[in-house]
Amino acid sequence: MQPDSPYCTKASEITWQQDTPSSVEFDDSYWSQGDPTLEKQWVFPGQHQLPSRAQEADLVVLLELGFGFGHNFLQTVTLWETSGTTAQLHYIAVERSPPTLAALQRVHALTGTTAGKRLLAIYPLGLRAWHVVWFTDKIRLTLIFEDAQTALPKLDAKVDVFYLDGFKPSQNPELFNQFIFEGMRRLAQPGASASTYSVAGVVKQGLRAAGFKIEKRQGWGRKRELLFAEAPGNWRGQRLRRPSVQIIGAGIAGQSLAGSLNRFNIQPIILADPSHPGASSQPALNIYPQLSLQRDRQSEFSIAGCYFALHNQKGVQHRPLRWRSATPAKLQRMQRLCQLFPDDYLEQVGRDVIYHQAGIWQSLALAGLRDANVCQMIPSEGQMQLCNAAGHPLSKADVTMLAAGAGMHSLTSLALKNVRGQSIRIQSKQALPEFLTGDINITHLGGQNFLVGSTYELGSNDPQTRLVDTDRLMADLAQTLNHRDFTLTAPHAGIRTTFSDRVIGAGLLPAHTISTAMMAKPNAHLSGPAPACYALMGLGSHGATHAPLAAEAIVSALCGAPSPLPRDLTHLTRLDRF
């Protein structure tokens, strides 16, 4: 891997004094000698009355600057879990130079706690990205591997509590400076609190200048004092919005939206046309990042989306993916990509390339699913009523989410391109590659069953399988395997859609883009503002990779939770960009 890769963080260089780590760059230890548990608990979660705040809120948002080895997070998790609260904790942590997984294992492997093991299991590789995971059913962790000076302006959150836990200010001016303090103030709720071990003048003066009221409190151990700060105003617990929701579509997009809504304790109504030839009719879909030789926003979204899908989406099996191609130009490109990423993310093995962070998505049965063909949308008393072709009501809700794949042509006026694809299911008694992509895709479905694909036809909306495509796929597979010892069991065809810029669309749907054929007739009575409509559409070839994170962003915005995306990536996928 190139040492100056634009995709990778600079891992913290650490020296060890017995089991206490110190940063070479900052010439400072991560904590005092011995077990840091009590020290961290006192200075950070112990200062903010978190259990009582949780009783007065639906969610509490906590921002930590300086994640380090995750001790503050683990102590907060323990406090949250033992408090008996039903509130959500949205824990956002920023770390420019994260320790390696091996370093974390050295510290946490001996503790044996459930939370510690969970942290090791989900700890991301050292990529400059936003890594979002539901750590428990009530705690969402957003781990941002990026400099705080660039990360804070991208945050879309209202913060209740700050942990300021960087290395000593004299060695770490990138974290303890007025720009950071002003950024904290911008994000702070009225009455938000902050704590830090440092009582250095630059910290006291900087927080005060940013508008915080500061006080010294009793410190821990050899540090006699700590600093506590509060933003102006009276603190009030944040409340989640939980409207009634109906979803049109039950494929990748619909299932992703339903999963995110469920995490916020919303049980949606889901309507889907069983005859719809969506891409989700395929028995399985691949999850792996879509990467570029030049770091760009699409690659950033794909890296974040892949992590989120692998760690949060139901029906996903984490499995390394092997890439193989006989085309020299494609192989050279992949070899260059491998130089930009760590080997445990993207690794060249001979003439193959391994995506270690990859998986397989298989559709699951959805609770609340109804077979129905939605033909009309009627605004009524602040809600949207959905009707069939005969005008009979199907459902009614405060919020409507459109996620119908190729069916979005009839729901919106936004310009989508169709891409028809066909795959085949086969049986083979001989061993086949279990998870392969490149010139051909092979996915092991279990037993002797494999999925092989797929064809690509831009502009077609033909949902029928074709013998010529089946024969082509059978021939391509025989050429790849150098034998024909397999049998066809079933072909599959599906239509996926994409926008002209090949970026997905996610968010609030502009009212003027809803199809006029779908909306109520002009004489229909509409009182008050039009009911909100969101859409997740144009997923293209990596829908299973990107849809879950995009859905989480939509639902977070709907409910009033922090965005799991930086502002520039939310801007990237907005539906009013055309």
Residue at token pair 């440092």? 198
Partners of 376 in beta bridges: 387
Give me the pLDDT at residue 278, please.
Answer: 61
- What's residue 51's pLDDT? 95
DSSP state for residue 176 in the 8-state scheme:
S
**DSSP calls for 451-510:** EEE---EET----S--HHHHHHHHHHHHHHHT----EEEEEEEEEEEE-TTS--EEEEPP
Please tell me the predicted confidence (pLDDT) of residue 111.
74
Q: What is d(CA 44, CA 91) in angstroms, rounded to the nearest whole number?
A: 13
Q: What is the pTM of this model?
A: 0.95
Q: Which of 181, 150, 371 is nearest to 272 (CA)?
A: 371
Residue 24 structure tokens: 């070479």
Those residues whose C-beta lies under 8 Å from the C-beta of residue 468, and which sit 6 or more positions away, are none
pLDDT digits (tens, 9 = 90+) for 383-397: 999 999 999 999 999
CA distance 62 to 50: 10
Q: Which residues of the chain have pLDDT under 70?
A: 1-3, 277-280, 520-529
pLDDT at 1: 64
> Which sign, positive or negative, has the C-alpha torsion 437, 441, 445, 449?
negative
SS (H, E, C) 52-75: HHHHCCCEEEEEEECCCCCHHHHH
CB-based contact 210:231 (threshold 8 Å)? no
* DSSP labels, 110-159: TT--HHHHHHHHHPPPSBSSEEEEESSSSEEEEEE-S-HHHHGGG----E
Structural domains in the chain, CATH included, are 14-230 (3.40.50.150), 241-319+360-416+499-578 (3.50.50.60)
* pLDDT for the residue numbered 479: 92
Bridge partners for 370 per DSSP: 271
Distance CA 394, CA 391 (A): 9
Q: Which of 224, 218, 87 is nearest to 161 (CA)?
A: 87
Structure tokens at 404: 């119908």
Express each pLDDT in 190-232 by its tens digit.
999 999 999 999 999 999 999 999 999 999 887 889 999 999 9
